[in-house]
Amino acid sequence: MILGVGIDLIEVSRIRDSLERFGDRLARRILRPEEFQYCMSHPDPAPYVAARFAAKEAVSKAFGTGIGATLGWQDIEVRRLESGRPEVLLHGEARLYSDSRGCRNLHLSLTHTVHYASAVAVLEA
């Protein structure tokens, strides 16, 4: 049974502008350490940071909470499996909230181009 669906779209230029203006402060705020290392290992980290930003927004929308009081940026982690498939790991409040909702699977799809990054998340019981 589907418990929730979330989607997000962001302009990569918004993230790129923030990275240029504030350094890695935004990236460190929204990314967990492994995510940060992965994104910053690319010559242009902006599309990768943007995709993870969109993923975390999509997951929080699928839960129906958004980022804020219930779920925080650091509660949601996106990893890239060897196959290239993205995987979501929930930490802290997100893990507790997921368990309380009866969530058994969390599916995630990411995409990014030069201009946009998007994510879709599906929560399944």
pLDDT tens-digit map of 86-109: 999 999 999 999 999 999 999 999
- Determine which one of 91, 107, 112, 115 is catalytic: 112
Domain residue spans in the chain? 2-124
Q: What is the pLDDT of residue 69?
A: 86
Identify which of 75, 56, 79 has the alpha carbon closest to the alpha carbon of residue 66.
56
Task: Please give the average per-residue pLDDT across 34-50, as a whole number.
Answer: 97
One-letter amino acid for residue 13 of the chain? S
Q: What is the CATH number of domain 2-124?
A: 3.90.470.20
Gap between the Cα atoms of 120 and 62, Å rounded: 9
Token pair 């967990």 in the structure block, residue? 32
Q: What is the pLDDT of residue 19?
A: 96
- Determine which one of 56, 61, 91, 107 is catalytic: 61
Q: 37: number of CA atoms within 13 Å, CB side?
A: 4
> Does the annotation mark 61 as catalytic?
yes
pLDDT in tens, 6-27: 999 999 999 999 999 999 999 9
How far is residue 47 from each of residues 35, 52, 53, 82, measured CA to CA in Å?
A: 13, 9, 10, 19
pLDDT in tens, 48-90: 999 999 999 999 999 999 999 889 999 999 999 999 999 999 9
